[in-house]
Structure 1
Amino acid sequence: MNTTKLFIKNMVCDRCNRVVAEELSGLGYTVHNISLGEAEISAENDTIDLEKIRQVLTDNGFELLDDRKTQVIEQVKLAIIDLIHTQGEADQRVNTSDYLSQKTGLDYSYISSLFSAFEGITIEKYLILQRIEKVKELLVYNELSLKEIAYKLGYSSVAHLSNQFKKVTGLTPSHFKEIKENKRKTIDKII
Structure 2
Amino acid sequence: MVCPRCIRIIKDQFALLHLPVNEVRLGQVDLDRPLNQEELERVKSVMAEYGFELLEDRKGKLVEQIKTLLIEAIHYQEEKISANYSTYLAQAIGKDYSTLSHVFSSMENVTIERYIILQKVEYIKAELDYEELSLGEIAARLHYSSLSHLSKQFKAVTGYSPSEYRKLQIMNRLPLDQVT
Considering only aligned residues, what root-mean-square deviation do their CA atoms show, in Å?
1.8
Equivalence for 2:99: 110
Structure 2 runs not aligned, ≥5 long: none
1:179 maps to amino acid: L
Of 132, 138, 144, the match for 1:149: 138
Residue 25 (1) aligns with residue 15 (2)? yes
Q: Give the drift of 1:102.
A: 2.3
* Distance in structure 2 (CA, Å) of the matches to 1:46 and 1:121: 33
Q: Give the drift of 1:182.
A: 4.7
* Distance in structure 1 (CA, Å) of the matches to 2:35 and 2:18: 11
Q: What are the within-5 Å matches in structure 2 for residues 39-54 of structure 1?
A: 39-42=29-32, 47=36, 49-54=39-44
Q: TM-score, normalised by structure 2?
A: 0.93
Q: What are the within-5 Å matches in structure 2 for residues 127-146 of structure 1?
A: 127-146=116-135
- Tell me if structure 2 keeps the 8 A contact 1:135–1:149: yes
- Tell me if structure 1 keeps the 8 A contact 2:151–2:161: yes
* Deviations 1:18-42 (CA, angstroms, capped at 9, x unpaired): 1111111211211111100100123
Equivalence for 2:153: 164
* Distance in structure 2 (CA, Å) of the matches to 1:47 and 1:121: 35
1:24 maps to amino acid: F
Structure 1 runs not aligned, ≥5 long: 1-10
* Distance in structure 2 (CA, Å) of the matches to 1:20 and 1:46: 15
Q: State the identity as a percent.
A: 42
Name the structure where strand makes up a greater proportion of residues. 1
Q: TM-score, normalised by structure 1?
A: 0.88
* Distance in structure 2 (CA, Å) of the matches to 1:40 and 1:145: 39
Which structure 1 residue ranges, 4+ long, deviate > 3 Å from structure 2? 45-48
Residue 124 (1) aligns with residue 124 (2)? no
- Tell me if structure 1 keeps the 8 A contact 2:7–2:25: yes
